Amino acid sequence: MLIGSEPSAAARPAHEAECPVGLACRFAPAAYARTDPSDPDAYGDYDRADRPRDGDDIRYIVIHDTEESYDSAIARFQDPHSGVSAHYVIRSSDGQVTQLVHTWDIAHHAGNYWFNMHSLGIEHEGVLVDGARWYTEAMYQASARLVRYLAARYHIPLDREHILSHEEIPGLTPGGVAGMHYDPGPYWDWAHYFDLLGAPLPTAGVSAAPVLTIVPRFDIDIEPLRSCVGEACTDLPPQGSNVVYLHTEPRADAPLVGDPALHPDGSPGTTRVADWSARAVTGQSFVVAGRSGEWTAIWFGGRPAWLDDPPGRVSAPGHGALITPRPGRSAIPVYGAAYPEDSAYPPTIPAAAVVPLRYTIPAGQVYLGVERGFADYYYARFDSADAQDNHTLVVGDRRLVEISFNHRRAFVDAADVLILR
Ligand SMILES: [Zn+2]
C-alpha cells in the first residue's frame, strides 16, 4: 500500500507536527542518539525509516495510556536510555498533542517490533486503574481528530481490526507474552471513541451469524475488576468498562478461562485488572463455537470460551474471513509476528527469529482472519552505524494470516489453514 503523493522523508519538514488543522499540537523530538560509545547497536529511542515509500506500510494505529504524567512521558521519550517512544502523546486535561516521532519513522511503542514496523503509536496521559478520571472528553476528542487525520492520510480503515490497543498486541516469544502491556485497559470507552471517529461500532442485536462482535454497553454492563499489588487486592469502584468475561462452561459460577502465559499451572483466569486471560473487549470479533440457552461459546485462545449473551445485550453480528486448520493437521502453531523465513534474508542482515508461541489451534476450531500478507522485516540500525544494507525491507515468500485469537491478535501460517469464506 504505497502512497505516491507522499514526499520522501528527506523532503519533509523536520520539525513540524503532523496534525489536523486546528488541533492544539506541537513537535518535540524524541531522542535519536547512541547510548554506549563502544556499542554501535546501543541507541534510542526509535528507528529512522521512510514509511510507506520504503515498502513498509502503516496499517494500524495503536492506542496506549502512559501510566505517568504527560510531562514525564515526554521526558522519557526524549531520554535515549529509555529505548522507548511513541509518535504522539495527548494530555488529559485539555487534549493538547505533542508529536515526538515522525509518522514515517518507527517508534518503539508496542513491545513487538513487527507491529512497530506497521503502526503509529498514540499515548494518552492516564493511569489505567483510574480509568475514566484520566480519559477525559477533551482527550477523546483530540485523539479522535488525530486518528481521523492519520487514517485518512495512510488509508487505515477506521475499524477495531486496525485501530487497536496495546493490550491486543501479542508477545513475540513464549516468554514475552506474560509481560506484554495491557493498556489502555478496561476503562477506555471504545464505543464512544468510535462514535467520535465517525465509524460507530454496531449496536447489540440478535443473530445466528457465525461471527460476533463484542459490544457491551459501557455505562450499564458493570463488571468486577480488582487492582492487586502482590497478593494484596482491592476491588475497583463499580464503573463502566469495555469488559465481557469468558467462562469455561455456560454458567456464571464456572471458572474464568485462564491464559497459559499468565496461568502456566492451568489455574483459572481472575478479575485482576492485569489478568487479561478471560476478557473480551468492546469491538473485538470472534467466531461462534456453540450456543447453550442464553450463553454463547466463542473460539478463544485455542479453546471454547463462554459468554453470558442474552439477546441484544453484549454482542452484535460480525463478519470476516473464517480460518481453520487444514484437514489432516491435528493442531497448528500460532505466532506473535509475521517475520520472513530465514532464506529470505541477504547474508548481511541477521534474520529475526520465527518462534511459535505456547498456544496451538486444534483441528476443527475456527478464527476470524483480520489481514493476510507476505511476511516482512524492516532491518534498521542506528543511522550512522557501520551496518551493511542498513534500512532494508526484507519480504519473504511466507504468507501469514493475522487472526483475532484471544485477548490479543496472533498469526498463523497461510500454508497451515483453510479460509472457509
Ligand atoms: Zn502501551
pLDDT in tens, 316-373: 999 999 999 999 999 999 999 999 999 999 999 999 999 999 999 999 999 999 989 9
Q: Across the beta sheet with 303-308, what order do the strands follow?
A: 303-308, 295-300, 285-292, 211-214, 315-317
- What is the 109 CA–ligand 1 centroid distance (Å)? 6
Whether 210 and 285 share a structural domain: yes
Residue 10 lies in a domain: no
- What is the 86 CA–ligand 1 centroid distance (Å)? 9
Whether 141 and 286 share a structural domain: no
- What is the 13 CA–ligand 1 centroid distance (Å)? 28
Whether 312 and 234 share a structural domain: yes
Q: Does the pLDDT value for residue 3 go beyond 90?
A: no
Strands 60-65 and 119-124: parallel
3-state secondary structure of 147: helix
Whether 216 and 158 share a structural domain: no
Whether 85 and 97 share a structural domain: yes
Residue 141 lies in a domain: yes
Residues 114, 78 contacting (CB under 8 angstroms): no
Residue 146 lies in a domain: yes
- What is the 289 CA–ligand 1 centroid distance (Å)? 31
DSSP letter for 149, please.
H
Residues 271, 164 contacting (CB under 8 angstroms): no
Domains in the chain: how many in total? Answer: 3
Task: Of 47, 286, 325, give the one whose Cα is nearest residue 168.
Answer: 286
Report how far residue 193's alpha carbon sits from residue 190's, in angstroms, rounded to the nearest whole number: 5
Domain boundary among 298, 317, 336: 317
- What is the 167 CA–ligand 1 centroid distance (Å)? 7
User: Mean pLDDT over residues 68-84, rounded?
Assistant: 98
Whether 390 and 307 share a structural domain: no
Whether 104 and 126 share a structural domain: yes
Q: pLDDT for 374-385, tens place per residue?
A: 999 999 999 988
- What is the 237 CA–ligand 1 centroid distance (Å)? 23
Confidence class for position 1, pLDDT limits 50, 70, 90: very low
Q: Which residue has the cell 454482542?
A: 315
3-state secondary structure of 257: coil
Tell me which residue range forms the domain holding 195: 16-201
Report how far residue 137's alpha carbon sits from residue 135's, in angstroms, rounded to the nearest whole number: 7
Kindly report the CATH number assigned to the domain that includes residue 108.
3.40.80.10
Q: What is the mean pLDDT of the chain?
A: 95
Whether 52 and 140 share a structural domain: yes
Instruction: Note if the bond before 29 is cis, omega within 30 degrees.
Output: no
Whether 233 and 87 share a structural domain: no
Q: Which residue has the cell 532464506?
A: 343
Task: Of 200, 158, 198, 164, give the one whose Cα is nearest residue 181.
Answer: 164
Whether 269 and 330 share a structural domain: no
Whether 287 and 327 share a structural domain: no
- What is the 180 CA–ligand 1 centroid distance (Å)? 9
Whether 187 and 313 share a structural domain: no
- What is the 65 CA–ligand 1 centroid distance (Å)? 6
Domain boundary among 156, 177, 201: 201
For 251-262, give the DSSP string.
Answer: STTSPBP--TTT
- What is the 253 CA–ligand 1 centroid distance (Å)? 32
Residue 7 lies in a domain: no
Q: Which residues fall inside 5 Å of ion ligand 1, going by CB?
A: 64, 166, 181, 183
**C-alpha cell read off for 361:** 489451534
